Structure 1
Amino acid sequence: MKYYSTKNKDLKFSFKDAVIKGLAPDGGLFYPKHLPQLNKSFIDNLHNLSLAEIGFEVAKHFMGGDIPTNKLKEICDDSLNFPTPLVSFEPSVYSMELFHGPSCAFKDVGARFMSRCLSHFAQESDEKITILAATSGDTGSAVANGFLGIENIEVVILYPSGKVSQIQEQQLTTLGNNITALEIDGSFDDCQALVKQAFQDKDLNKKMKLSSANSINIARLIPQSFYYFYAYGQLKNQNKNLVISVPSGNYGNLTAGLIAKQMGLPIKRFIASTNVNKVVPDYLNTGKYESKASIPSISNAMDVGAPSNFDRMMTLYQENHPKICEDLKGASFNDEQTKEIMRKVYKDFGYILDPHGAVAYLGLQEELDTTNELGVFIETAHPAKFIDIVEEVIETQIDIPNYLKSCLTKEKISIQMPNDYQDFKTFLES
């Protein structure tokens, strides 16, 4: 398997090189030369497979021999060793809870898989790799947890000052060891732009081996397809069409689902559910894409005005707007609508939504035909990560997992930095 840049199909790289580089030299995102078509027998047998077993069977098509089969199985078993339950609280609707991993967020799946791939490559070359990761909330904590203490890897996480929840910030800034947190005076889009600029800085890249842990990295994206296969396997015996609503910010999670569909997973359609930062729903409605400055919201991980993975979505569908609209619908909701549905679901069913899952649930409500369809919405983070908002909305105290409790007792250590590339480059070089 070879990978090319979304900006230039003539640039071809191995899986190993694509993972280590993170971003293509021309600023494009790596994309597989072709998508494997998975056997019908594999799809029919999904209900008998664990998430780790599914991950191994899917991932081996993307490795190109760069990771031996036995090592890949070890990576999948080690990184995908926590539950991802489907919880139903009303007919035909399921919440897929992806927050039972070490950092209580869905990004544990991709970050843990990627960290173990990079660790394997770093051990092969005995060369130091510096990971750069911009985060709007959960990416940073999952990446920090996944890479903590891994030899030959340093991690630098950029996050927007004052725009992540307290618990998210504590997860980013209290680990120490090989993890450094930079508190940027700006938005997530600013943090992401600094990371991209670093990758395109030829002078800097001569001095350092840089890689990314955002969903721009192909090793973060591929494992996010695994749980869509798992969800289908758990529900296929109900003999209804499956519709999945994905809370979307940088669109890696959704892109992975669309890739799974193109590989043969029979999902009827996806819903790109987002907050007021709705550049992709606007594109789906009009056929025109226009990035915009992000607007702060209570679902902060989706506060993205220039989603990186839009380029991969366009590559997947060859920029064919009518074709992508067959597989994908868009929906957007404001904070008041989000709070209202959080309140209603808790009152009616006793189920606690985090603000991102609430947006996904709203999108499902808007698009699902319950007569012949099953709906799954992705719950991406434990509600306790947004405890102030959630408790205020549902007027009930919620339990905090022990891991998050322990983060709150530790000292925050971050480096404050202006939104200035030269300052960022100087820091990296030092």
Structure 2
Amino acid sequence: MFYKSTRCGVDKISFKDAIMMGLATDGGLIVPEFVPKLLPQNLKNDDFKSIAFEIFKLYIDDIKEKDIFDLIEKSYAVFDDIEVTPIRQFDSLYILELFHGPTYAFKDIALQFLGNLFEYILDERNQTLNVLGATSGDTGSAAIYGLKGKKNVKVFILYPKNGVSPTQELQMCDIEDKNVFPIAIYGTFDDCQNIIKEIFKDNAFKEKYHLGSINSINFARILAQIVYYYYAFLKIGKNVLFSVPTGNFGDIFAGYLAKLMGLPIEKLILATNENDVLYRFVRFGDYSKQNVKKTLSPSMDIQLASNFERYIYYLYDQDCNKVKNLMVELNKNSKLSFTDKLNQIQSDFSAYRTSDKEILETIKYFYEKYNYIIDPHTACGVKAALKEGKQTICLATAHPAKFSEAIENALGFKIDMPEKLAKLKTKKRNFEQENSIEAIKHFIELNANV
């Protein structure tokens, strides 16, 4: 299996090189040369780790199978549920709990694996790495917990000041490991993401400071997320819909790849908050940037989705020149029209958007009916599933305690905090920087492994 860029400039690279490259050197995103097939009936076991092993083998041929198995075991040993991603049933709605990792968010599933993968490759190659990432909340803390204390790695995480929940910020900043640098930016998540992308386009700087990515632009993130679609399907045992809260298009793109691999998903439901660029894309073919609105579901307060380019690559039959031209147009005009592809898009996805008012109503409704608390992001997915009105698996992307203020607003009482979250009291280390590419480059120069 080789990997290539969505924009034609990178081709025939190995899995390990693809992971270390992160963002392709031509500015595109890394994709596999082909999508391997894996029918669910051909899986011998339905436990999470066994499924992960069978899927990873299809995409990784430059790491020994024993080492792949060991990386999986190490990555998911730290989860607090033996099933890793357990499922709860509520009538025709299933909740796939993806929040049993160290930071209580679905990002742990990919970033625990990616952190161990980075350490494995660096040790093998006797290299150092400086990981650079942006977060709208959960990616940052999950990346830090996946990489803190790792040999030969430093991690720099940009997040919007006052744009994440207090608990999310504490998880990033209440870390004493000297290889961790959480950086608050005076701007939005899109500003953080733009800084990251522009720095990665500077190939000389990227090479000098051995930069790598932990955002969902890194294909290992997508690979790890494919697993729980297969896991959930096998547990339910029939064709279902998946409702996916998403802002960056990574989680739902993993489901799209699973479908291409042969998992018989009836429909992928794309659930957004009031930052509805992806909703407008699916409903009207309109992909246009607007101002970011601060909502109760901050991890989805995004206007331009990092993984959107990967889907466009497949939407246009893997025509990398078409993708390259579209991305130039998007960068120039901050909008694209896909009305010519609307039938295909709507055969792949349905989409719903949820207001803050509806989020609070959904949290209250679900608690009163089922005595089960969902976080604001999951509430977007549940609301979308209820609107679709069919048997659906909803991805629960975070523990509700991470958004205690919204929960208290919806239910009128304070939620019990898991012990690890309750201990987060004092921000020990964070750094603040202006919204400037050069300022962040300078900070990296002062603190990076070289």
Q: Distance in 2 between matches of 1:246 and 1:11?
A: 31
Report if aligned partners of 1:299, 1:356 keep a CA contact under 8 Å in 2: yes
Report if aligned partners of 1:160, 1:183 keep a CA contact under 8 Å in 2: yes
**1:291 to partner: Cα distance:** 2.7
Q: Distance in 1 between matches of 2:343 and 2:125?
A: 46
**1:39 to partner: Cα distance:** 4.1
**1:212 matched to which residue of 2?**
213
**1:36 matched to which residue of 2?**
36
Q: Distance in 1 between matches of 2:89 and 2:40?
A: 27
**1:129 to partner: Cα distance:** 0.2
Q: Distance in 2 between matches of 1:126 and 1:299?
A: 41
Once the two structures are superposed, residues 25-51 of structure 1 have per-residue CA deviations (whole angstroms, 9 ceiling, x without a partner) of 1111101110001145425x4xx4211
Once the two structures are superposed, residues 206-233 of structure 1 have per-residue CA deviations (whole angstroms, 9 ceiling, x without a partner) of 3211111011100111100100100001
Q: Match of 2:70, as an amino acid?
A: E
**1:419 matched to which residue of 2?**
435
Q: Match of 1:291, as an amino acid?
A: K
Deviates more, 1:71-80 or 1:6-15: 6-15
Match status 1:347 vs 2:368: yes
Report if aligned partners of 1:21, 1:211 keep a CA contact under 8 Å in 2: yes
**2:11 matched to which residue of 1?**
11
Match status 1:376 vs 2:373: no
Deviates more, 1:33-42 or 1:174-183: 33-42
Q: What is the SS of the residue equivalent to 1:60?
A: helix
**1:123 to partner: Cα distance:** 0.2
Match status 1:274 vs 2:240: no
Deviates more, 1:345-354 or 1:162-171: 345-354
Q: Match of 2:190, as an amino acid?
A: D
Q: Distance in 2 between matches of 1:247 and 1:255?
A: 12
Report if aligned partners of 1:174, 1:412 keep a CA contact under 8 Å in 2: yes
Q: Distance in 1 between matches of 2:155 and 2:40?
A: 40
Once the two structures are superposed, residues 324-343 of structure 1 have per-residue CA deviations (whole angstroms, 9 ceiling, x without a partner) of 32121111011011111111
Q: 1:199 to 1:72 in 2, by over 3 A?
A: same
Q: Distance in 2 between matches of 1:368 and 1:26?
A: 43
Q: Distance in 2 between matches of 1:76 and 1:190?
A: 34
Q: Distance in 1 between matches of 2:408 and 2:42?
A: 43
Match status 1:357 vs 2:378: yes
Q: Distance in 2 between matches of 1:166 and 1:17?
A: 36
**2:55 matched to which residue of 1?**
58
Q: Match of 1:217, as an amino acid?
A: N
Q: Match of 1:50, as an amino acid?
A: D
Q: Distance in 2 between matches of 1:213 and 1:324?
A: 28
Q: Distance in 2 between matches of 1:9 and 1:361?
A: 40
Q: Match of 1:284, as an amino acid?
A: V
Report if aligned partners of 1:292, 1:306 keep a CA contact under 8 Å in 2: no
- Percent of aligned pairs with the same amino acid: 37
TM-score (norm 2): 0.90
- The gaps in structure 1 that reach 5 residues or longer are none
Q: Match of 2:396, as an amino acid?
A: E
Q: Distance in 1 between matches of 2:350 and 2:104?
A: 28
Report if aligned partners of 1:204, 1:429 keep a CA contact under 8 Å in 2: no
Report if aligned partners of 2:9, 2:26 keep a CA contact under 8 Å in 1: no
Q: What is the SS of the residue equivalent to 1:220?
A: helix
**1:269 to partner: Cα distance:** 0.6
Q: Distance in 1 between matches of 2:278 and 2:41?
A: 35
Report if aligned partners of 1:108, 1:146 keep a CA contact under 8 Å in 2: yes
Report if aligned partners of 2:19, 2:219 keep a CA contact under 8 Å in 1: yes
**1:313 to partner: Cα distance:** 1.2
Q: 1:257 to 1:169 in 2, by over 3 A?
A: same
Report if aligned partners of 1:246, 1:377 keep a CA contact under 8 Å in 2: yes
Report if aligned partners of 2:40, 2:234 keep a CA contact under 8 Å in 1: no
**1:230 matched to which residue of 2?**
231
Q: What is the SS of the residue equivalent to 1:305?
A: coil
The CA RMSD over aligned residues, in Å, is: 1.4
Q: Distance in 2 between matches of 1:75 and 1:108?
A: 14
Once the two structures are superposed, residues 185-242 of structure 1 have per-residue CA deviations (whole angstroms, 9 ceiling, x without a partner) of 0000111111111111133123211111011100111100100100001000xx4x30
Match status 1:69 vs 2:65: yes
- Paired residues for 1:215-364 under 5 Å: 215-236=216-237, 239=238, 241-318=239-316, 320-364=341-385
Q: Distance in 1 between matches of 2:67 and 2:290?
A: 42
- The gaps in structure 2 that reach 5 residues or longer are 318-340
Q: What is the SS of the residue equivalent to 2:157?
A: strand
Q: What is the SS of the residue equivalent to 1:87?
A: strand
Q: Distance in 1 between matches of 2:173 and 2:254?
A: 29
**1:289 to partner: Cα distance:** 1.9
**1:395 matched to which residue of 2?**
412
Q: Match of 1:118, as an amino acid?
A: F
Q: 1:267 to 1:412 in 2, by over 3 A?
A: same
Q: Distance in 2 between matches of 1:212 and 1:40?
A: 31
Q: What is the SS of the residue equivalent to 2:415?
A: coil
Q: Distance in 1 between matches of 2:381 and 2:207?
A: 43
Report if aligned partners of 2:92, 2:392 keep a CA contact under 8 Å in 1: yes
Once the two structures are superposed, residues 303-352 of structure 1 have per-residue CA deviations (whole angstroms, 9 ceiling, x without a partner) of 11000111111123327442232121111011011111111111222111
Q: 1:121 to 1:8 in 2, by over 3 A?
A: same
Q: 1:278 to 1:132 in 2, by over 3 A?
A: same
Q: Distance in 2 between matches of 1:245 and 1:263?
A: 19
Q: Match of 1:273, as an amino acid?
A: A
**1:295 to partner: Cα distance:** 1.4
Once the two structures are superposed, residues 123-166 of structure 1 have per-residue CA deviations (whole angstroms, 9 ceiling, x without a partner) of 01111100011000000111111111110011001000001111
Report if aligned partners of 1:298, 1:355 keep a CA contact under 8 Å in 2: yes
Q: 1:405 to 1:153 in 2, by over 3 A?
A: same
**2:96 matched to which residue of 1?**
96
**1:176 to partner: Cα distance:** 2.8
Match status 1:181 vs 2:182: yes
For this pair of structures, how many residues does the alignment match?
417
Q: What is the SS of the residue equivalent to 1:244?
A: strand
Q: Distance in 1 between matches of 2:103 and 2:42?
A: 31
**1:10 to partner: Cα distance:** 5.5
